[in-house]
Structure 1
Amino acid sequence: MKKWSKTAGVLFIALCLAACGEADRTPSGVLGKDEMRDILLDMNYADVYAREQVPEGRSPADMNEATRDSAVKTFYAQILMLHNTNRETFMKSWQFYESHPDRLEAIYKEMGEIVKRKREVIDSTDKARMERELRKTGRTRMDSLFWPVPDSLKLNIF
């Protein structure tokens, strides 16, 4: 009896270790975390672009929901092609991650960090460009209260 309980204990520990090793793995046919993150990020960009895109000569009020939905569907199909996957694989992966909210939350956190880093780069680039433009015009501030150019401080009396 003692031998049986010792064997059962070893088997239990082995199963626990094997289960821990499988914790971060995804089933076959499901996109990996990084692939899913990249696809969802591109899809979010497509949603924003479709919402803000207005054809020339039209106002945003003229754009109806069906037109936007059609554009988004086209963008989604292109995104899946760019990531070398298909709708079925994406939907299976989405269902998997949706049923594992902790993994989906981790994906969305990574997406937020990526967007934040890109925004910081864009903001710093825009700020540097504005500063260069201000230097060209001789202004020393970016707001509406410009400090005078050093030459303008000289009094020009006849």
Structure 2
Amino acid sequence: MRWINMVLISTVILFSCESKNAVPAGILKPAKMQTVLWDMLRADAFTYEFITKDSAKKPEAENVKLQQQIFTVHKISKDDFYKSYEFYKSHPDLMQTMLDSLINKATRDKFIITQAKQLKDTLTAKKIPDTLTAQ
């Protein structure tokens, strides 16, 4: 009887110690969700920056197409994404960690692009005056 009680108590303690932030089955894991969310944010930015300026295209329809391409690339469904998004919205600490990582990624990418542009500027041929020719 004592053995059964110990097993029951141990089981209760084990399950009560389970992280409140554990990602349940059917929800995208944080790394995958972060990657998909990054692509979704880039698609939104592309739509805002370029598609809205093209009067021949409908921004909402184009954005839906881009989202579908993202879902296809990541092999998930729209429902998978939005179900996961709702889960992370209801777990602010997990969402905050994910968003902080996305901000760091954006900052890093911007820095790399800026460095590449500066390097290109230093490599462009500059005319050096010829001191041997008569002026």
TM-score in same-fold range (> 0.5)? yes
Q: Does 1:151 align with 2:122?
A: no
CA shift at 1:151, angstroms? Answer: 3.1
The equivalent residue for 1:26 is: 23
Structure 1 stretches of at least 4 aligned residues deviating more than 6 Å after TM superposition: none
**Deviation per residue, 1:57-106 (Å, 9 max, x gap):** xxx3x639x81111111100100110110011111111111111111111
**Deviation per residue, 1:32-63 (Å, 9 max, x gap):** 001111111001111111112159xxxx3x63
Q: Does 1:121 align with 2:135?
A: no
Change (3 A) 1:19 1:125: farther
| C-alpha distance in 1 between matches for 2:55 and 2:100 | 32
**Deviation per residue, 1:10-34 (Å, 9 max, x gap):** 937x645544443442100000001
The equivalent residue for 1:93 is: 84
- 8 Å contact from structure 2 (residues 51, 62) kept in 1: no
Q: What aligned pairs does 1:6-155 form with structure 2 within 5 A after superposition?
A: 11=9, 15-16=12-13, 18-54=15-51, 60=53, 63=55, 67-133=58-124, 136-138=125-127, 149=128, 151=130
| C-alpha distance in 1 between matches for 2:13 and 2:119 | 55
Change (3 A) 1:19 1:122: farther
| C-alpha distance in 2 between matches for 1:95 and 1:124 | 37
**Deviation per residue, 1:86-140 (Å, 9 max, x gap):** 011111111111111111111110001111111111111111111111xx123xx
Change (3 A) 1:54 1:32: closer
1:31 partner SS: coil
Q: Unpaired segments of 5 or more residues in structure 1?
A: 139-148
When Rg is computed on C-alpha atoms for both structures, the one with the higher figure is 1
Query: Could you state the TM-score of these two structures normalised by the residue count of structure 1?
Result: 0.70
Change (3 A) 1:111 1:19: farther
| C-alpha distance in 1 between matches for 2:60 and 2:107 | 27
In percent, how many aligned pairs have the same letter? 22
Query: Could you state the TM-score of these two structures normalised by the residue count of structure 2?
Result: 0.81
| C-alpha distance in 1 between matches for 2:51 and 2:19 | 47
